[in-house]
A and B are shown apart, each in its own frame.
Chain A
Amino acid sequence: NAGVTQTPKFQVLKTGQSMTLQCAQDMNHEYMSWYRQDPGMGLRLIHYSVGAGITDQGEVPNGYNVSRSTTEDFPLRLLSAAPSQTSVYFCASSRPGSLVHEQFFGPGTRLTVL
């Protein structure tokens, strides 16, 4: 299993540009989520999905869109990048029925918005 994969690893955008951060998992996990990590802080939830076709907002959803057309993929779209979105983005997945329901994290995408 590859686990949770994220692309790209690094990205630099100019203010106003749009882009999609890709996330895929091969563990057949129903639950997927996106977090952002700003310097000196813990991770904060952006959006999450409890299954294909179902998404919902997290703590900091503004400026981001998601969709979940398959179990495997959960892309995060930045509609019009702003410097405040400079951060490290983590995708995670888990299987809610498991005892621990631990979240498996991807390696992260480091995004800089100029």
Chain B
Amino acid sequence: AQKITQTQPGMFVQEKEAVTLDCTYDTSDPSYGLFWYKQPSSGEMIFLIYQGSYDQQNATEGRYSLNFQKARKSANLVISASQLGDSAMYFCAMRENLGRRALTFGSGTRLQVQP
């Protein structure tokens, strides 16, 4: 079974608008972390935001926020006030505390911001 599912292969958003990128996950580990990474066309992986499974509040980092709904096992990324430079691939990933403690990635969402 897929541990991380990103159901939106591609998304379009107008500049200055907000956009939500979906991510659902599957784990039986009670302690885990959820991450979002941005991959621009240049190819590097850029860490955006982190949410721990025991965190009570949704994580925020500047224009990025993570809408964490634990019961639904979802961790959606919200980008407010989109900018042209936000055009990139976005990956949701999970680290489980048991086992390898490495990241398991979803297949990604390509976001295109239109002027």
A43 B50 Cβ-Cβ under 8 A: no
B45-88 interface bits toward A, Cβ cutoff 8 Å, 1 = contact, 0 = none: 10100101000000000000000000000000000000000000
Q: How far is the CA of A89 from the CA of B108 in the complex (A)?
A: 17
B105 A43 Cβ-Cβ under 8 A: yes
Of the stretches A67-75, A78-86, A98-106, the one at the interface is A98-106
B44 A103 Cβ-Cβ under 8 A: no
Asked, given contacts A88-B43, A108-B43, whether A45 binds B35 with beta carbons under 8 Å apart, the answer is no
Interface of B is mostly: strand
Task: Determine the chain B residues whose CB is within 8 A of the CB of A92 once the complex forms.
Answer: 45, 103
Task: Determine the chain A residues whose CB is within 8 A of the CB of B100 once the complex forms.
Answer: 45, 48, 56, 58
Which chain B residue has the least Cβ–Cβ distance from A50?
Answer: B101
Those of B14-46 within 8 Å (CB) of chain A: 33, 35, 37, 43-45
A102 B105 Cβ-Cβ under 8 A: no
B101 A103 Cβ-Cβ under 8 A: no
Q: How far is the CA of A40 from the CA of B108 in the complex (A)?
A: 8
- Neighbour of B102 across the interface among A48, A88, A102, CB < 8 A: A48
Q: How far is the CA of A103 from the CA of B110 in the complex (A)?
A: 21
A42 B102 Cβ-Cβ under 8 A: no
Q: How far is the CA of A58 from the CA of B47 in the complex (A)?
A: 21
Which chain B residue has the least Cβ–Cβ distance from A90?
Answer: B45
Task: Determine the chain A residues whose CB is within 8 A of the CB of B35 once the complex forms.
Answer: 102-103
Q: Is B113 an interface residue (CB 8 A)?
A: no
Q: Is A44 an interface residue (CB 8 A)?
A: yes
- Neighbour of B103 across the interface among A56, A103, A108, CB < 8 A: A103
Task: Determine the chain A residues whose CB is within 8 A of the CB of B102 once the complex forms.
Answer: 33, 45, 48, 58, 103
Candidate in B91, B93, B101, B103 with the most chain A CB atoms within 10 angstroms: B103
Asked, given contacts A48-B100, A48-B102, A58-B100, whether A43 binds B91 with beta carbons under 8 Å apart, the answer is yes
Query: Chain B: residues with CB nearer than 8 A to chain A?
Result: 4, 33, 35, 37, 43-45, 47, 50, 52, 91, 93, 95, 100-108
